[in-house]
C-alpha cells in the first residue's frame, strides 16, 4: 500500500526515529512529500525548482543504508528544502531575481554539502523575496508564495518559501537565512520553528549575501528539536566563510530535555509596543506557560533609545545589498521596492556607514551585558500577523513594524528562535521569540523545546 500524508511522521525527529526503526523508508517518506508538493504547490507556490530525480536516487541510497543499519546521521533519508539563495551544484540558483535566472553554480554551498554528507535528501529550491531583501516573498519573477494558513496572506520573508513548504508538510526541514528576521518572521507567520544561530556558527559560503555584517544561515523545521538535529550538522567551521568561528563541535540535542526551572527570562517592554491585540494575548499566555515550567519573568529594557539606533543601523542592509547587486541594478534587473532601497543605500555617506558599524557593536555589547543577569530575552517574534498579499509585488506596507523585534538580534549577532504560540481569531499564526547569549544556541533551543513539550502549536498544520 502506497504511504499517504496520513503516514507522514509529525516532525523531522519522528521521521528519523521511524527510519531508524525501519517502519518507513526514505523512499516512502520522499514520495509522501513529493505527492504533497504536487497536490498543494499550485496553491501555495513554495518551490521554484524541483529536484525530484536526484532526490529519488539519493533516497534509494538512504533506504539501503537504513536497511543495513549504517545511517550516516539522524538526517539521513530526510527530505529537506533549500532556499533559492543557497548554491546547488548544477541546479539553477536564481536568488529570486531575473538578474540571476541563468546562474548555475559549479558546487554546493557549504551548508548544502554538509546536509548531503549527512545523508539528507535535497527535494528542491524554495521561493524567496527577490535577492532576499524583503518580508513578503511576493516575488515579481516567480509569483507570490502564499501562507498555507490563509492563501490570501503572505508567508513572511524572505525565507517565505521554506516556511510555507514546512507548514504545508511538503518537506520536514529547510534552510533559511536571516538578515533582519527572514527565518523567524516566516516561522511566526506559518506556525513553524525557525532558529537564527549565533553569527559565524553556520557557514554562509555559497549563500548569496544581503549584508555580510548581518547575514545568518540557519535551520527551519517543525520543532526546536528538529532545528537542533539540523544544527548538529550545519554548525561546522568553514574557512571559506571569513566570519566562520572556529569553536569546538557541540551536540545541540544533548541538553535539550534539561529543565528550565530557575531560569530568569527578560521581557523587553519596547518590543510589546505596536503589537496587535491577539499577538499580545498569545504572548502573555506564553509567559504563563514559562512560569508553570519554573522560569521567572521580569521586565527589562536593555537600552532606552532603541528605535533611533535601529533606524541608523538599518542602512547597513541597503548599502551592502546595493553593492552586491550593483551590476544587476545598472542593467535595471532588480524590481521595486528593492531597487529604490539599494540605490538609497549606495548613496549612504561613509560617515553614516561607519557610525552604523559602531552602533551595531554597541548593541551587541549592551544586549550581551543584559544577559549577565538574565538567561534569555523573551518577546513576540513580530508585532503583527501575516498581512494580505498585495496585487502589486512592489508594495510592502508593513516592513518597519514587521522586522522591529527580530532585527535587533541580527544586530547583536545573538542566537534567536521563533516557536509557534497560537493563532489569532482569524486563524493566522503568531510566534514567540527566545534569544540568548552569543554561542549559547543550545540554551535557546532548550527553552524553545521545553515550551513545545507542553504546547502543541508546532504540531498543528493547516488544511489547504
The yes-or-no answer on residue 158 being catalytic is yes
Q: Is 369 a catalytic residue?
A: no
Cell numbers found for residue 66: 537504513
d(CA 346, CA 343): 5
The Cα–Cα gap between 104 and 101 comes to: 9
Q: Out of 97, 182, 244, 321, pick the active-site residue.
A: 182
Please enumerate in sequence order all residues whose Cβ is within 8 A of that of 297, keeping only pairs 6 or more positions apart, or say none: 265, 267, 287, 290, 291, 378
CB within 8 A of 415, min separation 6: which ones? Answer: 195, 196, 197, 198, 201, 409, 435, 436, 437, 438, 439, 440, 441, 444
Which bin fits 63, alpha (ψ -120 to 50), beta or left (φ > 0)? alpha
Out of 25, 46, 158, 318, which one is annotated catalytic? Answer: 158
Task: Please identify which of the residues 83, 113, 196, 402 carries the catalytic annotation.
Answer: 83
Question: Length of the chain in residues, anyone?
Answer: 464
Is 437 known to be catalytic? no
Beta strand ranges found along 72-135 (DSSP E): 79-83, 121-126
The dihedrals phi and psi of 173, each to the nearest 5 degrees, come to -160, 160
Whether the ω angle into residue 132 lies within 30 degrees of 0, i.e. cis, is no
Cα-based angle 249, 374, 457 (whole degrees, multiple of 5): 75
Q: Which residues are catalytic?
A: 83, 158, 182
Amino acid at each position: 500500500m502506497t504511504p499517504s500524508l496520513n503516514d507522514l511522521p509529525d516532525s523531522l525527529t519522528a521521521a528519523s526515529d521511524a527510519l531508524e526503526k525501519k517502519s518507513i523508508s526514505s523512499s516512502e517518506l520522499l514520495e509522501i512529500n513529493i505527492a504533497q508538493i504536487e497536490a498543494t504547490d499550485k496553491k501555495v507556490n513554495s518551490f521554484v525548482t524541483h529536484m525530484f530525480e536526484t532526490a529519488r536516487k539519493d533516497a534509494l541510497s538512504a533506504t539501503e543504508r537504513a536497511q543495513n543499519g549504517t545511517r550516516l546521521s539522524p538526517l539521513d533519508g530526510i527530505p529537506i528544502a533549500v532556499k533559492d539563495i543557497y548554491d546547488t551544484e548544477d541546479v539553477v540558483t536564481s536568488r529570486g531575481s531575473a538578474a540571476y535566472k541563468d546562474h548555475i553554480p559549479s558546487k554546493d554551498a557549504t551548508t548544502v554539502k554538509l546536509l548531503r554528507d549527512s545523508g539528507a535528501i535535497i527535494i528542491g529550491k524554495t521561493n524567496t523575496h527577490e535577492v532576499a531583501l524583503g518580508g513578503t516573498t511576493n516575488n515579481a519573477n516567480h509569483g507570490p508564495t502564499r501562507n498555507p494558513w490563509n492563501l490570501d496572506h503572505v508567508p513572511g520573508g524572505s525565507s517565505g518559501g521554506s516556511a510555507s513548504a514546512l507548514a504545508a508538510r511538503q518537506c520536514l526541514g529547510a534552510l533559511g537565512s536571516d538578515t533582519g528576521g527572514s527565518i523567524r518572521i516566516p516561522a511566526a507567520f506559518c506556525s513553524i520553528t525557525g532558529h537564527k544561530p549565533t553569527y559565524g556558527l553556520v557557514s554562509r559560503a555559497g549563500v548569496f549575501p544581503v549584508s555580510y555584517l548581518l547575514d545568518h544561515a540557519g535551520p527551519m523545521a517543525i520543532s526546536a528539536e528538529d532545528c537542533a538535529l539540523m544544527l548538529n550538522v550545519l554548525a561546522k567551521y568553514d574557512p571559506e566563510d571569513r566570519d566562520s568561528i572556529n569553536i569546538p563541535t557541540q551536540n545541540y540535542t544533548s541538553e535539550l530535555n534539561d529543565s528550565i526551572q530557575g531560569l530568569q527570562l527578560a521581557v523587553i517592554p519596547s518590543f510589546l509596543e505596536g503589537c496587535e491585540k491577539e499577538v499580545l494575548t498569545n504572548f502573555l499566555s506564553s509567559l504563563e506557560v514559562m512560569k508553570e515550567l519554573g522560569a521567572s519573568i521580569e521586565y527589562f529594557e536593555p537600552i532606552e533609545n532603541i528605535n533611533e539606533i535601529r533606524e541608523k543601523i538599518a542602512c547597513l542592509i541597503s548599502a551592502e545589498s546595493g553593492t552586491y547587486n550593483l551590476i544587476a541594478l545598472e542593467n535595471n534587473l532588480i524590481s521595486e521596492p528593492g531597487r529604490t532601497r539599494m540605490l538609497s543605500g549606495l548613496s549612504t555617506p561613509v560617515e553614516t556607514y561607519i557610525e552604523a558599524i559602531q552602533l551595531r557593536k554597541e548593541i551587541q555589547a549592551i544586549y550581551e551585558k543584559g544577559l549577565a543577569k538574565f538567561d534569555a530575552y523573551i518577546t513576540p517574534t513580530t508585532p503583527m500577523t501575516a498581512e494580505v498579499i498585495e496585487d502589486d509585488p512592489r508594495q510592502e506596507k508593513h516592513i518597519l513594524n514587521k522586522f522591529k523585534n527580530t532585527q535587533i538580534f541580527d544586530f547583536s549577532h545573538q542566537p534567536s528562535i521563533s516557536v509557534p504560540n497560537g493563532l489569532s481569531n482569524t486563524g493566522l499564526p503568531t510566534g514567540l521569540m527566545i534569544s540568548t547569549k552569543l554561542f549559547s544556541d543550545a540554551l535557546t533551543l532548550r527553552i524553545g523545546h521545553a515550551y513545545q513539550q507542553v504546547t502543541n502549536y508546532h504540531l498543528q498544520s493547516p488544511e489547504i
